[in-house]
Structure 1
Amino acid sequence: MFELIRAYWPEYRHYRGKLLLAFIAMTMVAGSSAAIAWMIKPLLDEILVHKNEAMLYVLPVYIVLAYLVKGVGAYVQLYTMGFVGQDIVRKVRDRLLNHLLHLDLAFFHRHHSGELISRVTGDIGRIQNAVSNSMATVIRETMTAVALIGVVIYQSPALAFISLVVIPAAYVPVNLISRRLRRVSHTTQARNAELTASLSEMFSNVEAIKAYHTETFEANRFAQVNQSCLDISMKSVRIGGLVVPVMELFSSFTGAAVIAVGGMQVIDGSMTVGAFFSFMTALFMAVDPIRRLSQTYTQFQDAVAAHERIHAMMTLDPEVRGGERELQDVSSIDFDNASLAYGDKTALREVSLEVRKGEVIALVGGSGGGKSSIASLLLRFFDATAGLVSVNGQDIRAYSLTSVRARIAIVTQRVHIFNDSIAANVAYGAVLDEERVIAALRKANLWEHVASLPEGIHTQLNEAGTNLSGGQRQRIAIARALFRNPSVLILDEATSALDNQSEAAVMDTIRAIAPEIIIIVIAHRLKSVELADRIYLIQDGQVICQGKQAELLRDCVHFRELYQ
């Protein structure tokens, strides 16, 4: 628990005014609780025993005022600490997401999207209650318990000694329960992440589920994961549920001892009935905050487990790091015996190629040959494990990641459409300039369709662009790349979903902009690479042959096989 408090304590310094207000409110709650317990003595001794009529009219007013102060304090503390806790969680969530987005692509290949969603939402949510309500509960209930114990000591130091010896002994079993609960919480959060991952994968592939009629299969698979979550959650409930019975057992020992000793003192006259009942009221009122502290301590273990999972993510560093130089333009790209390996798998072996501004090169070959890996090295999704990739004669690692990716645009076969307007999708991440958006749509041969829509470029697109055809989605992606006015344009199977007419229009656009930039075309269909100045045949991660199409048809048997 204290580890979690230390981790988030620096955040609280930004809310000094609100924390001071919350502390005052907690003092009101603690003080009024103690006052209510103390007023039992004059109620019994002065009003019921000594028949003090004046006290009869005064004491009820004080009781009402005490409860009013307690209620106002509780409300102010709850609202103030709720705001502080939720705002801290908002900042932590922002930092976590920002950190994750700046990690390498390899990190996202290793972790399921559902797991990451669970970290950003589920784990953060578990911390939220701890840094707001639970933190306030610890402070408020500690103050309340101290105030009530003060009344206990004031009424009878001897009986207080008996109470304060027995109650702390409950810490031992409560601490053992909390440690066990913390371990179970790790497993619970991991199971919840699996549940989120299962849902994420299912909804992403709903078309395949429908097409293969596997609704029942997926529902049964989800039910197994869901049952696993239930089992571990119930284990957590079983362990956490022991706290209250344990505390009440120890409280009963305390109550029994106090009644036995205090009763004898009342009988022999060394203690008044009012003082005894005031003592008992304060003692049993003090048991409640102590019990709530024990429950909060166990609840903290769930938050601590979530914090450890978040901290594990926050301490990860990207393996691909940018340099100090800023890339303004790209005049040349060179691969010098560049190799790339993903773990035990070798994607590229000593690849050498070159391209200059104004040139169009094509990378062709079978699936899995390594063509897209070349694009990944250019975008610095990964770094070459051997050899060198140069831009403008400089190691590409000397340039900042931001400037490299700002100058290189890629259109892949897998199109990413966001739940936003057509204009926002085209200008994605940049200032929305409607004239540039329309110009990009014209170049992508999509403007005629967009112009016919009632809302034009402001038409809202569904998630994943489900209200567009496959070809239209691909042309949105092409328009997005052209909108950026890149120095390098990579088309990775970018025209595979287009009809012949649209593909021809896009190719005309490529011919028009080719003299100003570098264009790299990755394709299976050789019709898409006819305009290339140079073609590289990639097979098993190696450049098998290179040259113009006529030369390769004449000299390269592998290219002829592919062509045929």
Structure 2
Amino acid sequence: MKTLWQYTLKYKYQFLFRITTISLVALASICFDFLMGFIVDIFASGDSSKFATITIASISLIIIMFLTEYIDGLVMSSYIKNTVNYLRTDIFSKVINKDIKDFSLDNSGKYISILYNDIKIIEDSFFNNLFQVISCIISFAISLVVLFSISPSIVIFISIFGVLGFIIPNALSRKLVVQKNEYSENLEQVTSVTKDLFSGFEVIKGFNISNKINEIFNTASNNVETSKKKYSVLESIIRGFSLSFSVTIYLGVLLLGGYLMYKKSISVGTAIIIIQLSTHIVGPVKLSISLINQIRSVSLIADKIENILEDTKDSLENTKLDNFTNSIEIRNLDFSYNEEQKALNNINLNINKNKKYAIVGESGSGKSTLIKLLMRYYSDYEGKIIIDNNDLKNIYSSDLYKNISMIQQNVFMFDDSIKENIRLYSNHTDDEIISSCERSGLSKLIDRLPKGINSLVGENGNKLSGGEKQRIAIARALINNTQILILDESTSALDNETAYNLEKSLLNLDNLTLITVTHKLIKSILINYDEIIVMKNGKIIEKGNFNDLLDEKGYFYSLYTIQNDNLA
């Protein structure tokens, strides 16, 4: 909860201003109690000379109460907006800055649930309730002091039962914490399940498994509602205890006040003031018992959020790389996803500027893993990756990804225009975008669309073909003048003609270092690469140009022959 308290005071001036407005609202309400007592005493005494004064005072107080409530509402809404938005943005920033390995440890639905479901719980049960507790304390304290000046015996009675009213509900607070955390975890689960099921909509329909999917969703949804029910029942028990003690206090005050009035120790108006003040004591006691337990109930959720906010690793970045000018050297590189087997084993490789490289091999040979390390998706490898005499781990991220880009088989598209999907919300001009479209072979598409580069692509580019999405991905890289472009099976889902044209256009770019991971062993394409790197079981077993590798009649020759015989 420590980090959550720090966020509470992020906007400390708004926080203090809210406490001030709460105090003014409490004072105005207590003034109204005294006004009621004075009105009763005036009517009881028949002193008509005070009618005008009390009328003006009443109207003034009503105006003051309206203004204080209005200002308090404005301050509260502003504080909650700023604080919750800052917390959510901070969490999102921490998540988006995770490396690929750490991010993939959890389902992305968990992060979505934290950003919306858990933050909503925090807002309702912590931030809002916190101010209500402060309001209760202020109202309770002012009323108690005023009441003590009228009757100390009533205050003593209230204090005894008020303390007892906190003991039993407090014993249930730990159970409430567990139940609320279970509710939060079930919300995560149903969010993750829903996201995954919608993502696999075509598979669900294609394999006719809608009934089974309905069962899976129904189970996840039922778990959420069951845990919410358990939490609500426990909260009701706590509210029941707080109500019982509150009624006891209220009746006790009523009896003591009536007894004092019977003994002529106080006037009728004073008795009414005592009764009204007791509501400002009983109400806060009743409410604060429930609110404090609700605040405590989010402690495990707060811990979950704190784990994300505090999950930082020491950065090794301390080196600039303005432009890639020479080569990438890979020395004695080893990497494994787990302790059982190495994904890469003793990789040694030189990649020179503006040369074209193809990495081939069977599935699981380590091709994609190698380029993921080049992209620094993982940094817990052994050996060295050197770019222009700079250790990859030390290069600033902004400089690294300015020089190197990767296009994957599945291109992610924002539900926005072609223009924004190419420039990725940067400040590139329309002329620069059109130029990158020409270089990536998008010109025909742009000319065909009524709105040109301002045409919308749909959710994840569903208005575009696979080849068009790939060309937009290439345009993204080219518009940033990337020096090194990596294709990870980018053309594997495309027809041969589209794949050939796309890859050929990149091979013809002189000022580009191209690294292509492919399983399509097509002579007319491979013959244009300066070097073909052949991998097997996490090792590089052959290197050379297309003709040399065929002449060696080794592993590449075997792969090429088998694939092309099958095609024949």
Per the normalisation by structure 1, the TM-score is: 0.92
Q: Please give the alpha-carbon distance, in whole angstroms, between the structure 1 residues aligned to 2:393 and 2:343.
A: 20
- The letter of the residue matching 1:198 is V
Distance apart, 1:464 and its partner CA: 0.7
- The letter of the residue matching 2:538 is G
Residue 566 of structure 2 aligns with which residue? none
Residue 313 of structure 1 aligns with which residue? 308
1:267 equivalent in alignment to 2:262 = yes
Q: Please give the alpha-carbon distance, in whole angstroms, between the structure 2 residues aligned to 1:494 and 1:389.
A: 24
Distance apart, 1:84 and its partner CA: 1.2
Q: Please give the alpha-carbon distance, in whole angstroms, between the structure 1 residues aligned to 2:552 and 2:69.
A: 85
1:388 equivalent in alignment to 2:387 = no
Relative distance call for 1:27 and 1:387 in structure 2 (3 A) is closer
Residue 537 of structure 1 aligns with which residue? 534
Q: Please give the alpha-carbon distance, in whole angstroms, between the structure 2 residues aligned to 1:340 and 1:346.
A: 6
Q: Please give the alpha-carbon distance, in whole angstroms, between the structure 2 residues aligned to 1:38 and 1:119.
A: 47
Q: Is the 8 A contact 1:85 1:129 kept in 2?
A: no
Q: Please give the alpha-carbon distance, in whole angstroms, between the structure 2 residues aligned to 1:244 and 1:59.
A: 39
Distance apart, 1:472 and its partner CA: 1.5
Of the candidates 488, 494, 501, which is equivalent to residue 498 of structure 1?
494
Q: What does the per-residue CA deviation read over 1:133-191, in whole Å, with 9 as the maximum and x for residues that have no partner?
A: 33332332322222222332232122222122211221112322333222222221111
Q: Is the 8 A contact 1:487 1:518 kept in 2?
A: yes
Residue 109 of structure 1 aligns with which residue? 104
Distance apart, 1:9 and its partner CA: 4.2
Per the normalisation by structure 2, the TM-score is: 0.92
- The letter of the residue matching 2:376 is R
Of the candidates 142, 145, 152, which is equivalent to residue 140 of structure 2?
145
Of the candidates 390, 397, 405, which is equivalent to residue 393 of structure 2?
397
Runs (4+) off by over 6 Å? none
Q: Please give the alpha-carbon distance, in whole angstroms, between the structure 2 residues aligned to 1:187 and 1:36.
A: 44
Q: Please give the alpha-carbon distance, in whole angstroms, between the structure 2 residues aligned to 1:10 and 1:56.
A: 47
Residue 25 of structure 1 aligns with which residue? 21
Of the candidates 222, 229, 233, which is equivalent to residue 227 of structure 1?
222
Q: Is the 8 A contact 2:332 2:346 kept in 1?
A: yes
Q: Please give the alpha-carbon distance, in whole angstroms, between the structure 1 residues aligned to 2:59 and 2:338.
A: 71
Residue 555 of structure 2 aligns with which residue? 558
Q: Please give the alpha-carbon distance, in whole angstroms, between the structure 1 residues aligned to 2:508 and 2:455.
A: 29
Identify the range of structure 1 (467-476 vs 220-229) with the bigger mean alpha-carbon deviation.
Answer: 467-476
Q: Please give the alpha-carbon distance, in whole angstroms, between the structure 1 residues aligned to 2:70 and 2:126.
A: 17
Q: Please give the alpha-carbon distance, in whole angstroms, between the structure 1 residues aligned to 2:23 and 2:9.
A: 23
Equivalent pairs counted in the alignment come to: 558
SS at match of 2:331: strand
RMSD: 2.3
Residue 463 of structure 1 aligns with which residue? 459
Q: Please give the alpha-carbon distance, in whole angstroms, between the structure 2 residues aligned to 1:358 and 1:57.
A: 93
SS at match of 1:32: helix
Residue 298 of structure 1 aligns with which residue? 293
Residue 7 of structure 2 aligns with which residue? 8
Relative distance call for 1:159 and 1:213 in structure 2 (3 A) is same
Q: Please give the alpha-carbon distance, in whole angstroms, between the structure 2 residues aligned to 1:429 and 1:406.
A: 15
Residue 232 of structure 2 aligns with which residue? 237
Q: Please give the alpha-carbon distance, in whole angstroms, between the structure 1 residues aligned to 2:40 and 2:426.
A: 75
Distance apart, 1:412 and its partner CA: 1.1
1:199 equivalent in alignment to 2:194 = yes
Q: Please give the alpha-carbon distance, in whole angstroms, between the structure 1 residues aligned to 2:420 and 2:4.
A: 42
Q: Is the 8 A contact 1:409 1:484 kept in 2?
A: no
Residue 118 of structure 1 aligns with which residue? 113
Residue 546 of structure 2 aligns with which residue? 549
Q: Is the 8 A contact 1:421 1:460 kept in 2?
A: yes
Q: Is the 8 A contact 2:246 2:286 kept in 1?
A: no
SS at match of 1:242: helix
Relative distance call for 1:546 and 1:147 in structure 2 (3 A) is same
Identify the range of structure 1 (554-563 vs 456-465) with the bigger mean alpha-carbon deviation.
Answer: 554-563
Of the candidates 454, 457, 480, which is equivalent to residue 450 of structure 2?
454
Of the candidates 302, 315, 334, which is equivalent to residue 339 of structure 1?
334
Q: Please give the alpha-carbon distance, in whole angstroms, between the structure 2 residues aligned to 1:277 and 1:248.
A: 22
Q: Is the 8 A contact 1:377 1:384 kept in 2?
A: no
Q: Is the 8 A contact 1:155 1:276 kept in 2?
A: no
Q: Please give the alpha-carbon distance, in whole angstroms, between the structure 1 residues aligned to 2:351 and 2:251.
A: 89
Relative distance call for 1:4 and 1:555 in structure 2 (3 A) is closer
Q: Please give the alpha-carbon distance, in whole angstroms, between the structure 1 residues aligned to 2:94 and 2:230.
A: 33
Q: What does the per-residue CA deviation read over 1:379-438, in whole Å, with 9 as the maximum and x for residues that have no partner?
A: 111125222211123322232222112101111111111111111111225322222322
